[in-house]
Amino acid sequence: MKRVAQVIRVRPEQLEMYRELHRDVPRPVLDTLRDCHIRNYSIHLLGDLLFGYFEYHGDDLAADTARMAADEATQAWWRLTAPCQQPVEEAAPGEWWASMEQVFLMP
């Protein structure tokens, strides 16, 4: 199992829209996440920062991420959520949600 933590900004004027969208995530989007071996996914908010965490239980995260990105329901979902988000300054070129380094895990 691989733990993945990511961060992105939410546009302040889109915060309520972002919250509203996540009150009822479409079932096909959730099914795709599960089919791509993603478990225990959560998103947290502090100020204008969104922190996402999930556990990956597959063997090829890049392949599963590509499969998720090719899914029509997920693409439609991202068209709704993307206008609410803005990458952080630390994001690599082309990176949307910036990956975070794990510096501690309770033994």
Helix H or strand E encompassing 27: helix 27-35
pLDDT tens string 10-66:
999 999 999 999 999 999 999 999 999 999 999 999 999 999 999 999 999 999 999
Specify the DSSP class assigned to residue 24: S
Q: Are the CB atoms for 51 and 43 separated by under 8 Å?
A: yes
pLDDT tens string 57-85:
999 999 999 999 999 999 999 999 999 99
Helix H or strand E encompassing 8: strand 2-10
> What is the pTM (predicted TM-score) of this model?
0.93
Helix H or strand E encompassing 44: strand 38-46
How far is CA 32 from its chain centroid? 13
Specify the DSSP class assigned to residue 11: P
Give Cα separations from 94 to 26, 87, 107 (angstroms): 26, 9, 34
Dmax (CA) for the chain in angstroms is: 40
Round to whole Å and give the CA distance between 38 and 96. 18
